[in-house]
């Protein structure tokens, strides 16, 4: 490959210099914005730490301002969770535990399809690939591609599911199902109400004060 001449080298150097002149102020602006956001967040934390008031666990009304609450959950209020608690009647009492909050995540080992586009000469073709993986929702194998390449790739990637994925059990809830004990729900509702009403008004004042 022939070496660039003196004129081409000067042109390239001039282009890099112009790019540097353009991007240097942009880099300074991004750096300054990050520093400003860090300082504002730090001031907000200090402001809240100095003014936070402890809220009693049996307190019915939350005062206006910044509050801190750390309350134990009554052990006797714990609920015994089973599969039925999460809408999965097929499990029944096979799995059971006592807790304030319980969650169930159901997954099935299924064949999953992936597709990418490749260019072969002047033609654009879709190339399919398949693999067995755990999924928290039903994968409809009926919609898989039926091209010769796809069928061959499916036989290689999903040898145990060449006839399609099994149906999801009707008595098993898909995905993640979460249930709370009533006491935990009340605490969560109280915190959400506090955050969405009085504390947000004070947060707005805090941000204006810091700025």
* Residue 97 confidence (pLDDT) above 80: yes
Q: What is the mean pLDDT of residues 5-16?
A: 76
What is residue 113's predicted lDDT score, i.e. its pLDDT? 93
Please, where are the H alpha helices in 75-165? Answer: 148-157
Residue 195 pLDDT class (50, 70, 90 cuts): very low
Mean pLDDT score of the chain? 77
What is residue 201's predicted lDDT score, i.e. its pLDDT? 34
Show the tokens assigned to 57: 């666990």
What is residue 182's predicted lDDT score, i.e. its pLDDT? 64
Contact status, residue 203 vs residue 126, Cβ threshold 8 Å: no
Q: What count of other Cβ atoms lies within 10 Å of the Cβ of residue 195?
A: 12
Domain coordinates in residue numbering, the chain:
1-51, 54-104+177-210
190 to 61, 178, 186, 194: CA distances (angstroms): 9, 19, 6, 6
What is residue 189's predicted lDDT score, i.e. its pLDDT? 56
**In percent, how much of the chain has pLDDT > 70?**
80
Residue 208 pLDDT class (50, 70, 90 cuts): very low
Contact status, residue 44 vs residue 206, Cβ threshold 8 Å: yes
* Residue 4 confidence (pLDDT) above 50: yes
What is residue 62's predicted lDDT score, i.e. its pLDDT? 65
- Residue 17 phi/psi, 5° resolution? -65, -40
The secondary structure of the chain in percent helix, strand, coil, rounded to multiples of 5, reads 45, 25, 30
Alpha carbon 153 to its chain centroid, in Å, reads: 31
Please, where are the H alpha helices in the chain? Answer: 6-51, 148-157, 182-196, 198-210
Contact status, residue 65 vs residue 198, Cβ threshold 8 Å: yes
Q: Is the dihedral of CA 193, 194, 198, 201 positive or negative?
A: negative
77 to 4, 179, 180: CA distances (angstroms): 80, 14, 11
* Residue 138 confidence (pLDDT) above 80: yes
What is residue 185's predicted lDDT score, i.e. its pLDDT? 58
Closest CA to 132 of 116, 146, 153, 149: 153
* Residue 137 confidence (pLDDT) above 80: yes
In DSSP terms, which residues pair with 38 in a beta bridge?
A: none
Of 131-135, 165-169, 175-179, 202-206, the range with the lowest mean pLDDT is: 202-206
């Amino acid at each position: 490959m022939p070496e660039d001449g003196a004129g081409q080298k000067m042109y390239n150097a001039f282009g890099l210099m112009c790019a540097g002149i353009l991007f240097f102020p942009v880099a300074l602006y991004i750096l300054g914005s990050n520093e400003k956001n860090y300082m504002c967040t730090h001031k907000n934390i200090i402001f809240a730490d100095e003014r936070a008031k402890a809220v009693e666990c049996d307190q019915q009304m939350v005062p206006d301002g910044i509050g801190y609450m750390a309350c134990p959950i009554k052990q006797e209020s714990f609920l015994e969770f089973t599969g039925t608690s999460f809408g999965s009647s097929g499990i029944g009492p096979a799995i059971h535990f006592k807790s304030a909050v319980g969650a169930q995540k159901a997954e099935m080992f299924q064949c999953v399809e992936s597709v990418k586009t490749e260019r072969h000469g002047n033609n654009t073709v879709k190339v399919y690939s398949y693999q067995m993986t755990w999924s928290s929702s039903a994968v409809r194998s009926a919609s898989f591609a039926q091209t010769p390449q796809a069928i061959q790739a499916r036989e290689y990637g999903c040898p145990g599911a060449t006839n399609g994925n099994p149906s999801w059990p009707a008595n098993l809830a898909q995905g993640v199902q979460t249930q709370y004990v009533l006491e935990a729900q009340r605490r969560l509702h109280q915190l959400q109400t506090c955050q969405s009403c009085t504390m947000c008004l004070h947060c707005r004042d805090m941000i204006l004060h810091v700025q």
